[in-house]
Amino acid sequence: MNLNNPVVVWLGAIAVTVLFFYGLDHIIMSMQGLPLNMNLTPAQ
Amino acid sequence: MMKSRELPAGEINKMIRVSSISGPSSSTAKGRDIRFAGSRFGWHKLPWKKLSLHVGLVAILMLAIPLFVAISEPGSTPVLASSDWSGVTQAVAAEAVTPAATPAATTDTAAGDAASKELIPAPQPEAKDYPNIGVSSRSVVWIVAQLHLYFGAFVLAVPIFVLLIEWIGVKTGDSRYEAMAHEFMKISATAYAITSLLGGTLAFALFLLYPDFMGYMMRVFGSQTLVYAALFFSESIVVYLYYYSWDALRYGNAKWAHLTLGLLVNVVGLTLMVMSNAWATFMMAPSGVNEVGAVTGNIWQILKGPLWNALNLHRFIANIAFGGAVVGAYAAYRFLSSKTPEEKAHYDWMGYTANFIAILSFLPLPFAGYYLMAEVYAYSQTMGITAMGGILAWLFIVQAVLIGAILLAGNYYLWSGMSRTEGSERYQGYIKYIAFVLVTSFLVWITPHTLILSPAEIRLLGGANHHILGVFGIMPAKNIAVNLMLIFTFLSFQLFRRADKVAVVSWERAGNALMVTIYAVAVFNVVFAGVYYGYFTNTLYKVGSSVMQVASTLTVIISGIILDTYLYKGARILPSHWGKVTNRSQYALFALPVAFTWLMALMGYVRSSVRTHWHVNNIMRDNSPDNFIPAIGYAGNMMTIVTILFIAMVLFVFWVSTLSEKKQLPPESSGQEVGQ
């Protein structure tokens, strides 16, 4: 992987960050017994 | 003077330089005398470092063990969580004084009688039992208690960051830290006497005006009050030892002894804080007593009420932010009155450090407040709704205005302070966008949900809520606004910190890309969680997703600090011109403590008012003429009076602190003599 290529750097940064926040959201909501419920329907 | 040969010239110069800033109590000659007097006693030969560590460890255990016991001990059952027992309290109280009604009386013999005699219910004073001194008793106690709390918060908080700054000075070898820590401590030590006097006045006022209530509190907390008094003595001793031994214990192992003294100041101070917090939380959510207030538990069960730890955390963080803001005002006061560029540079740097402390400790404060309110709701929904959904709800709009003022002032100081650094032009273009987000979020935060409207106004509005602005009045919108304000305040802070640095690490581009995406995704996460879970799902999700938002904000702050630490390792430092900052930025430093002071009065009023007509919630009824939640207008006047009084007293403390640096010149030789 070429870290001098801006496209690689930015795509890599976005991928890492999105995955991290998705995992964080998932863990936090699971701890409260709530699935993420991302299908935009009213949660039960 | 013989001893001076033992010190290297550089050390002596450093000592002289530091002493010259620290005022006459540490003037060069005096400081040297103390240092050498210490050497004559052979202090430097003692294993100070080892001794310090041992004493420090014992000190930490002093606090840690009781806290651990308090937190881990089971069985601290809160009394009467969610229902109003006012109707039954009197009846149960009547039964409780009858031996047959007590559990102990079910056993036979004298032991049962003895046990039943110990179960004394809380007194239920009538209106005639409250002394009347011609003015509102509540107002007297309100003013004195609030002032005591301000000064208590200040003198307990300052040593926390003074110790940290002193330690940084030791680690970096930069004598400016030493001088600044000493000067901060001088203000705190000056304020300490006022704190004690206000504490004594408060105790007298309470015993005079609320004798039955205080009698009950003394019975509940028993000898713990004497422990508190003993700790107060200890605190006085270590505070003055810490301050006055600054020059005597300055170098080598002796410095570690001094740092240990600082640690002791904080250990004793924090213990005092958590003990007195227990009195307030006992009044709100009593534990360790039965339904009629008879003591059934031990002292830990009484201390460890359901709100105790939440209040401890909230006050601990808030005190540091408040202390930072007040010493920031001191630095601004000194900056504006400085005559020389050196003085201006010193106080500019001091103001910057104080603002750094205030803002950085302020950032997690809303989350600690959220935790406290969550605990209040968990203890009693009625109490929570009284605070945030009833008569007091409007105060949270005022709170938003004050917090917004704090954040805007803090940001303004950072933006203005950038100008002293040559590399700041790289980031100044971002300021307008940060300002836009802050102001927009501020406006959303202060949008009320409901208004007190006439029928005609409701007709004009088309309902109780505005058809567009109404959506901004509920918590999901506020949560988005608060978190965005915190994230963008941290961005200002980060740009300010980066302004004088140029990264030299090879992965700078990747590091910056990561930081930018963390901001972007965190902002998206905060907005998404607030909008989707806040408006389109049920309440459970609405509350649960707020934790996601908090975690996003904390992720930005923590990752920003960590990333910058490594990104700017060995960075090229650009010149900063300390002292070359606008006077306007110093006014922002004045705005911070004023807003903090008012805010503390406001939230203190809310916290205290949730007990409504009870001295001790659901146990001891307030039957005094003031047994109602005061009207908001009246409370606003009280808060303003207390704020003005505190600011006046703090200015007096600042003035007294500077007085010790002034010297009267000897009489002129023109024949004028002293006394003529």
Q: How confident is the model at residue B363 (pLDDT cuts 50, 70, 90)?
A: confident
Question: Residue B447 and residue B1: Cα distance in Å, rounded?
Answer: 69
| Residue B653, C-beta contacts closer than 8 angstroms, at least 6 positions apart | B187, B190, B191, B194
Predicted pLDDT of residue B47: 62
DSSP state of B631: P
Structure confidence at residue B96 (pLDDT)? 42
pLDDT, mean over chain B = 83
Give the model's pLDDT for residue B38.
Answer: 42
| pLDDT of residue A17 exceeding 90 | yes
Cα B671 to the center of its chain, rounded Å: 55
Q: Is residue A41 part of a domain?
A: no
Q: Which residue has the higher pLDDT, B61 or B24?
A: B61
Give yes or no for B370 touching A (CB within 8 A).
no
CB B53 within 8 A of CB B60: no
B532 touches chain A (CB under 8 A): yes
Q: What is the pLDDT of residue B14?
A: 44
Q: Name the burial class of residue B51, with classes exposed (0-12), middle (13-18) and buried (19+) by CB atoms within 10 angstroms of its CB.
A: middle
Is any Cβ of chain B less than 8 angstroms from the Cβ of A14?
yes
**Calpha distance B124→B121 (Å, rounded):** 9
With contact defined as beta carbons under 8 Å apart, do B253 and B42 qualify? Answer: no
Q: Where are the domains of chain B?
A: 46-78+125-355+585-660
Q: Is the pLDDT of residue B78 over 70?
A: no
- The predicted pLDDT at position B220 comes to 94
Q: What angle do CA B117, B121, B124 make, to 5 degrees?
A: 140
- Evaluate whether A1 touches A12 at the Cβ level (below 8 Å): yes
Q: What is the pLDDT of residue B550?
A: 92
The total number of structural domains that make up chain A: 1
Task: For residue range B280-309, list pLDDT tens digits in order.
Answer: 999 999 999 998 999 998 998 999 999 999
- Taking CB atoms and an 8 Å limit, are A32 and B507 in contact across chains? no
Digit-coded pLDDT (tens) for B388-434: 877 788 888 888 899 999 999 999 999 998 888 888 889 999 999 99
Mean pLDDT highest for which of A40-44, B57-61, B94-98?
Answer: B57-61
Give the domain extent around A3.
Answer: 1-33
Query: How high is the pLDDT of residue B545?
Result: 87
Q: What is the pLDDT of residues B559-576, one digit of tens each?
A: 999 999 999 999 998 988
Percent of chain B at pLDDT > 70 equals: 81
What are the tokens at B235? 């605190």
pLDDT (0 to 100) of residue B59: 63
Task: Please name the residue ranges forming H helices in B249-305.
Answer: 252-284, 299-303
Q: State the sign of the Cα–Cα–Cα–Cα dihedral B554, B560, B562, B563.
A: positive
Residue A21 belongs to some domain of the structure: yes
The torsion region of residue B288 among left (phi > 0), alpha (psi -120 to 50) and beta comes to left
- Report ipTM (2 d.p.): 0.91
Residue A40 is predicted with a pLDDT of 57
* pLDDT at B587 exceeding the cut of 70: yes
Q: Quick one: pLDDT at residue B42?
A: 53
Rounded CA separation B281/B276 (Å): 9
Q: How far is CA A39 from CA B60, B532, B535, B537, in A?
A: 51, 11, 15, 11
**Is A42 in CB contact (< 8 Å) with chain B?**
yes
pLDDT of residue B110: 46
Average pLDDT over residues B532-553: 87
Residues in chain B with CB shorter than 8 Å from the CB of A18 are 517, 521
Q: In the predicted model, what is the mean pLDDT of residues B647-659?
A: 90
Which chain A residues are closer than 8 Å to B536 by Cβ?
A: 40, 42
> How far, in Å, are A8, B213, B371, B376, B628 from residue B285 at the CA level?
56, 16, 16, 9, 18
Distance from CA of A2 to the nearest CA of B (A): 11
Q: What is the number of helices (H) and of strands (E) in chain B?
A: 24, 4
Among the partner-chain residues B509, B537, B545, the one whose CB lies closest to the CB of A9 is: B509
- Give the residue carrying structure tokens 């205030």: B358
Average pLDDT over residues B503-521: 94
Q: What pLDDT score was predicted for residue B315?
A: 94
pLDDT of B98 > 50? The answer is no
How does pLDDT run across B610-633, given as a tens digit for each residue?
998 999 999 999 999 988 888 888
Measured in degrees and rounded to the nearest 5, phi and psi for residue B616 equal: -120, 120
Can you give the pLDDT at residue B389? 79
CB atoms within 10 A of CB B461: 15
A40 located within any domain:
no
| Disruptive mutation site among A34, A40, A44 for chain B (greatest number of B CBs within 10 Å) | A34
Cα–Cα distance measured from residue B228 to residue B219, given in angstroms and rounded to the nearest whole number: 15
Question: Does B538 sit within 8 Å of A37, measured CB to CB?
Answer: no
Q: Which tens digits make up the pLDDT trace of B220-262?
A: 998 889 999 999 999 999 999 999 999 999 888 889 999 999 9
pLDDT digits (tens, 9 = 90+) for B103-131: 333 344 444 444 555 688 999 999 999 99
Q: What is the pTM of this model?
A: 0.78
B37 pLDDT above the threshold of 50: no
Range scoring the smallest mean pLDDT among B52-56, B274-278, B547-551, B638-642: B52-56
From CA B621, how far away is CA B599, in angstroms rounded? 28
A12 in B contact zone (CB under 8 Å): yes
- In chain B the first and final C-alpha atoms are separated, in Å, by 39
The confidence score (pLDDT) of residue B39 equals: 45
Q: Is A36 on the interface with B (CB under 8 A)?
A: no
pLDDT (0 to 100) of residue B397 = 85
